[in-house]
Amino acid sequence: MKYLGYAAIDGAFNGHPSEVAAWTNLYVAWANFGYYKKAGETIDDWLPRMVACVDRAYKLDMWIYVGLDMGRNEEMSRRSTVKRILRALLPYDDRIVVVDVADEPAIDAATAKAWYAKARSVMAEIGMAPHPLAITFTAKQSMHENVITVPRFKSDGTLKGPDIVTLELYSAPANQGEVANLEYVRARIDAAVARIDPKIGVWFWLQGFNRNGAFIGEAELATLNKQSYKFAKKKHRSDGAPLDPKGFLIFNWARKTGEGKVGTKWLPLVKAKHKWIAADLGTMA
């Protein structure tokens, strides 16, 4: 099975899974970030919204990539919060494929290991399947921070690190031209993957947005999506295999920042490349 799906489809954003279900098979359920709509909202506000959105995607037969968003704030890192989120998603357990503990967290290795242990412990406690754990890093983070070098297993064979590291196939914020854009991605992803335990799988985020207006040139952005996908698929691993990543996520579908409409929903050339990627992956087969 191969997976392709957007973040920021609905919830806090002006979209709907039915808009992308024809070429994607994965729904990114990103706690807090994906459902928090206005200042002052608490988990009591956004978690029911999250569950309703997951339910809608589930009924479309989409698979689910859960983002726990640990590290967003103190509350999101609590065991009680992790437990509440995962317990709310238990009715959809059979469609969950990955649980991602955090997005771009500025943490040390000890904190990361504690987060992995917490998520695994909560899944076991509530009777959820032991889903693969992921963590998302920028390629720049992965090049320099020691948290990326945490191995998957302890010396006694028990799990210690993540099952998957999800890396961002992002260019520099400003468009540097097709050749330089891809080279920026190549250099950083090569360096990042070299530091990850070979027993850990690697998934990727495609750049399905214009860097909040900084990347000018939709045609070049569309090209970058196809080029970076082909590079990652050909060269880098997933689930311990040397090639053929199983999962590509896309940031984002319907998120707007400032005055511009920055996600793929408003970028038809980029959307066309994602449809090409879906056909190449065979996600809808």
Q: Convert the pLDDT of each residue in 39-54 to its tens digit.
A: 999 999 999 999 999 9
- Residue 278 has a pLDDT of 97
Rg of the chain (C-alpha set): 18
- Residue 248 has a pLDDT of 96
What are the C-alpha distances in Å from 280 to residues 111, 152, 244?
38, 30, 12
Q: Output helix, strand, coil percentages for the chain, rounded to the nearest 5.
A: 40, 20, 40
| % of the chain exceeding 70 in pLDDT | 95
> Could you tell me how far CA 118 lies from the centroid of its own chain?
19
How do residues 59-117 score in pLDDT, each as one tens digit? 999 999 999 999 999 999 999 999 999 999 999 999 999 999 999 999 999 999 999 99
Any idea what the CATH number is for the domain that residue 154 is in? 3.20.20.80
- Residue 237 has a pLDDT of 57
Question: Rounded CA gap, 218 and 207, in Å?
Answer: 12
**Sign of the four-CA dihedral 88, 165, 249, 38:** positive
Mean pLDDT of all residues belonging to the chain: 93
The residues, ordered by sequence, that sit 6+ positions from 49 with a Cβ below 8 Å of its Cβ are 11, 12, 35, 37
Check pLDDT > 50 for residue 243: no
What's this model's pTM, rounded to 2 decimal places? Answer: 0.95
- Residue 245 has a pLDDT of 57
- Residue 80 has a pLDDT of 98
Check pLDDT > 90 for residue 256: no
Number of domains comprising the chain = 1
| % of the chain exceeding 90 in pLDDT | 83
Domain of residue 138, residue span = 3-281
Residue 205 backbone dihedrals phi, psi, to 5 degrees: -100, 125
- Residue 261 has a pLDDT of 81
The arithmetic mean of pLDDT across residues 118-136, rounded, is 97
Question: Rounded CA gap, 200 and 38, in Å?
Answer: 37
- Residue 285 has a pLDDT of 67
The residues, ordered by sequence, that sit 6+ positions from 148 with a Cβ below 8 Å of its Cβ are 137, 141, 142, 165, 192, 195, 196
- Residue 12 has a pLDDT of 96
